[in-house]
Structure 1
Amino acid sequence: MKAVRNLVHSVQSKHVSSPETLVERGLIPPDHFEAVTEACKTLPVRLTSHIAAQIDSQNLTSPLAKQFVPSPNETFVEDDEIADPIGDVTHSPVAGIVHRYPDRVLLTPVLSCPVYCRFCFRREFVGDGLLNNDDLESAIDYIRNHPEIWEVILSGGDPLILSQRRLGEIIDALDAIDHVAVIRVHTRVPVVDPHRVTRTLTDALKRKTPVFIVLHCNHADELVPEARDAIAQFVDNGFPVLSQSVLLKDVNDNSDTLATLMKTLVQCRVKPYYLHHGDKAQGTSHFRTALAVGRKLISQLRGQLSGLCQPTYMLDIPGGHGKIPAAEDYLKLENDGSWTVVDWKGNTHQYLD
C-alpha cells in the first residue's frame, strides 16, 4: 500500500518479524516453532532491534521476553475471551473513531506498532492498517461536528510510528478545532524504539493545544538509559508524561516489582496514571491475574509508595461498558464467586474471573 510506505516511519529493517528469526536468534526453542507460527496468524511477531538486544536467549522467562516473544500459550482460547474485549467496534461511528464517553474520543490513524505486545487487547485488529486520506478526513470531520468532544486521544496501533509529516498534519487539524482542548498520545515508542524520539518528532507534536504523552510501560527493565533519554526529550520540551501499565502474571504481579516500576517512572518525571487489569482478549489467559490479586496489590502499594507513585487500578468492563476503578467500591463479590460491577453510569454488570 503506497500510503503505508509514505506515511509510516520505516523501521522494517530493525524488526524481528517472523517465527523463523525467533528460532535463529534463540528466542524460542525449535519445538515451539509450529505453535508460535499458529499464534502469529492472529497477532504477528514484531520486535525492534532495541528490544531484541535486551532479551537474553538464556532467560526466556524474563519480563521482556514474556511481553514480546510469542508463546504457544496464545493458541489456547478461553470460552469467555473475545475478539473485541472492550467493545471498541460498538462505539465506532466512523472508521478510526471510538466515542465511548461524551467528552472524549479515541482517534486511531494507524494500526501498526513498532512491537506487538503479546497481551494486546486489540490483537485481532492490529497490523499494517492505516487510515487513508478520506477516512482520516471523515474522522476529523466527526470531531469537528461534535462540540462536546473536549479531548482527542491518539492511539492505535502506535501513532508515533507515523511519519513526522503525517503526524504533524493530524495535530494541525486537531489544533484548529476550537472545542478540542487537550490532545493525548498513547505510545510505547520511548521504551521500545527510543532513538525514534528526536527534536523533530517533538516539534511535530507541539502546538497551542496541550499535548499529553501517555507511555505504556510494564516493568522497570524497560527503562534503560536510552528509554530514559527518550522520555526526557518529551519532558524537556514541555510535554507532560503519564504512564499506563498492565497487570501481567509472572511479569509484574507482585508489590515489590510494581513499587520499583512506579518509583522508577517518577524518577524519570513520569506520573503513574493507570494500572490496567488484563482484558479478556483471545489467547491471553496466561497473562491475567484474578481481580482479587490486583486489588490486594494496590492495597499493598498504598502503604509502600508516595502518592506521586500511585496508579489507579482500572478494569475495562467486557462488552464496551467503560472503565471503572477496580480498587474502589465499584465491585461486590457474590456468593457464587462472580463480581457485580457498577459502571460509570451506575449500571450493574457481571464479571467472572
Structure 2
Amino acid sequence: MATQERKEHIVEQVSAQQVSSFDDEPPLNHMGVDSVDTTPRESRSGYPGSSLFRKQFFPNTNSTQWNDWHWQLFHRITTADQLFRYIEPTDSERRALEQSAKMFPFSVTPYYLSLIDLSDPDDPLRKTCIPRMEESHISTGEAIDPLGEDHTSPVPSIVHRYPDRVLFLVTNFCSVYCRYCTRSRIVGGHEGAQDSHWEQAFAYLEQHPEVRDVVVSGGDPLTLSDERLAYLLGRLKAIRHIEIIRIGTKVPFVLPQRITPALVKVLKKFQPIYLNIHATHPREITPASKIACNRLADAGIVLSSQTVLLSGVNDSIATMMALFHRLLTVRIRPYYLFQCDPIVGSAHFRTSIAHGKALMDGLRGHTSGLAIPHYVVDTPGGGGKVPLLPDYEVSHNMEGLCLRNYEGKHFIYPDLPQEASL
C-alpha cells in the first residue's frame, strides 16, 4: 500500500470533539460493574464508589453512558471551574489551577475522580492528578527532559537509547495527566500531534535491522481509536526484524471502559503483545479495572506493571505491598518500581534513594518474589535504567561472600575465585 493510501487509513485521534464507537459487544455495565462498589473493602466507608459518584454528580447519566469510554473522554475535567464542582480546593490547588494555562495541563476522567476521597486534601490519588503550586518550585538537578530523550531521538517520535530496542512516542494525549509525568514537555497539547511523525518513524525502523523490540508509548497509546491502533500495530508487525511490541499505558486504571472486546481483538491479532501498565496505588484495582485486566489476560496478552515511587502517595511498605499483591490477583506481574524522575517541579514527589532501598528491604522476604519489582533509577542524561538493591552483601573475603537475609541474619556463600571478565 502506498504511503499516501496508508495515511488515509489513519483515523483521527479520539477526542472530546470527535468520538465514535467501534465496539461490537456490550460495555462493562452489562457485566455487573455498575452495581458493585468500586472501592476497596477497608476504605468503603470513606469513598462513595463509582455508582454513587455518578448518581450524585451526573444524575442524568445512565450506567451505559458512564461505562462508555467515549463518554468518559468527552466529560473529562480539565478546568478549575469544572473541578470545583466536585472538591473544595486547597489554596495550593486553587492557585495552581488558576495558572494551569502556563503549567502542565490538567485532566482527569470522571471515573478516576470517583476513586478519590473528595473531602481529603491529602488523598493519595488526588495528589497524583490535581495540580499544586509545588509544581512551580524548581529544585537543583531538575530538568524539562531529565532522561535526555530529545538528545537520543534520531527522528521525531523515536528514542533510540539501547542497542536493540526503541521507544516510539505515538501520541501526546492521555485521558488523565499524572502530575509527575516525565514527558510533560510533550503531552497535553504542548506540540503538534505525534502521529504526523509516524511515517518517518516507520521508515527509521525499517532501516535499522538491529531493532527487535519496540516500546509504544506517548501519551497513552490506548487512547487511540481501534482503527488507528490496528494500523500502527500492523505496520510494526510488517517489519520483519521487530520481534516484540510493548505498549505502555495507564488506561486500565484510569479509563477501564476503554478495554472493550473490540480493542482486545485488535491487540490479540498482533501477538505477542506485552502491556506495561502504570500502577500507582492499590485503590486503582477496582471491579471495573479487574474486568479490563482479565479481558486482556484472557486474550493471552502479557501484563506487567510499572510504578513510580511517590512521596505521600505510595511510599510506605504497607501501600506498596497491597498494590503489588492486588496486581497479581488481576494477573499483572510487578515489573519496575521507578525512582521519580527529576522533572521540573517534582521535589515534593521524590523520596530519597535510601528510602526506596529501605522500602525494597521491607518487601524482600516478607512477600513472594512474584510481588517484588526491580527498583531502578532511569539515569538523567539518557544513561538508561540502573537497578538499585538494599545492601545485602556484608563482606567478601577468602571464606566467601557474607550475605544478610531479610531477618538481618548473616550467611556465608562459599564463592569461587574470580573468573576472567565475560
TM-score (normalizing by structure 2): 0.74
**CA distance 1:178–1:4, shift in 2 (3 Å):** closer
Question: Which residue of 2 is the match for residue 77 of structure 1?
Answer: 138
Secondary structure in 1 aligned to 2:188?
coil
1:299 shift after superposition: 1.3
1:19 shift after superposition: 1.8
Count of aligned residue pairs for this structure pair: 327
State the Cα RMSD in Å.
1.9
Secondary structure in 1 aligned to 2:215?
strand
Structure 2, unmatched stretches of 5+, are 1-8, 20-69, 392-422
- Per-residue CA deviations over 1:236-280 (Å, capped at 9, x if unaligned) read 111010000000001111111111111110111110000000000
Q: Contact (CA 8 Å) 1:259, 1:304: kept in 2 or not?
A: no
Q: Contact (CA 8 Å) 1:27, 1:69: kept in 2 or not?
A: no
Secondary structure in 2 aligned to 1:55?
coil
CA distance in 2, matches of 1:237, 1:120: 30
Q: Contact (CA 8 Å) 1:16, 1:49: kept in 2 or not?
A: yes
Percent of counterpart pairs with the same letter? Answer: 37
**CA distance 1:221–1:4, shift in 2 (3 Å):** farther
- Per-residue CA deviations over 1:49-96 (Å, capped at 9, x if unaligned) read 101122222112111111111112111111321000111101101011
One-letter amino acid of the counterpart of residue 58, structure 1: S
CA distance in 1, matches of 2:93, 2:285: 29
CA distance in 2, matches of 1:203, 1:105: 25
Question: Which residue of 2 is the match for residue 325 of structure 1?
Answer: 387
- Pick the aligned partner of 1:229 from 291, 296, 303: 291
Question: Which residue of 1 is the match for residue 98 of structure 2?
Answer: 37
Is 1:67 aligned with 2:120? no
1:154 shift after superposition: 0.6
- Pick the aligned partner of 1:210 from 266, 272, 286: 272
1:219 shift after superposition: 0.7
Secondary structure in 2 aligned to 1:186?
strand
Is 1:152 aligned with 2:214? yes
**More deviation, 78-87/151-160:** 78-87
Matches within 5 A, 1:21-170: 21-26=82-87, 28-29=89-90, 32-39=93-100, 41-128=102-189, 129-133=192-196, 135-170=197-232
CA distance in 2, matches of 1:288, 1:31: 18
**CA distance 1:199–1:214, shift in 2 (3 Å):** same
Q: Contact (CA 8 Å) 1:23, 1:30: kept in 2 or not?
A: no
Secondary structure in 2 aligned to 1:174?
helix
Matches within 5 A, 1:191-206: 191-206=253-268
Is 1:7 aligned with 2:70? no
CA distance in 1, matches of 2:271, 2:206: 15
Question: Which residue of 2 is the match for residue 309 of structure 1?
Answer: 371
**More deviation, 285-294/70-79:** 70-79
Q: Contact (CA 8 Å) 1:39, 1:71: kept in 2 or not?
A: no
**CA distance 1:214–1:8, shift in 2 (3 Å):** same
CA distance in 1, matches of 2:278, 2:92: 32
**CA distance 1:248–1:4, shift in 2 (3 Å):** farther
Question: Which residue of 1 is the match for residue 349 of structure 2?
Answer: 287
Question: Which residue of 1 is the match for residue 30 of structure 2?
Answer: none
- Pick the aligned partner of 1:297 from 324, 336, 359: 359
CA distance in 2, matches of 1:280, 1:66: 17
Is 1:244 aligned with 2:250? no
Question: Which residue of 2 is the match for residue 349 of structure 1?
Answer: none
Question: Which residue of 2 is the match for residue 185 of structure 1?
Answer: 247
Question: Which residue of 2 is the match for residue 334 of structure 1?
Answer: none
| Greater C-alpha Rg | 2
Structure 1, unmatched stretches of 5+, are 330-353
**More deviation, 19-28/155-164:** 19-28
1:317 shift after superposition: 1.0
One-letter amino acid of the counterpart of residue 159, structure 2: V
**More deviation, 70-79/165-174:** 70-79
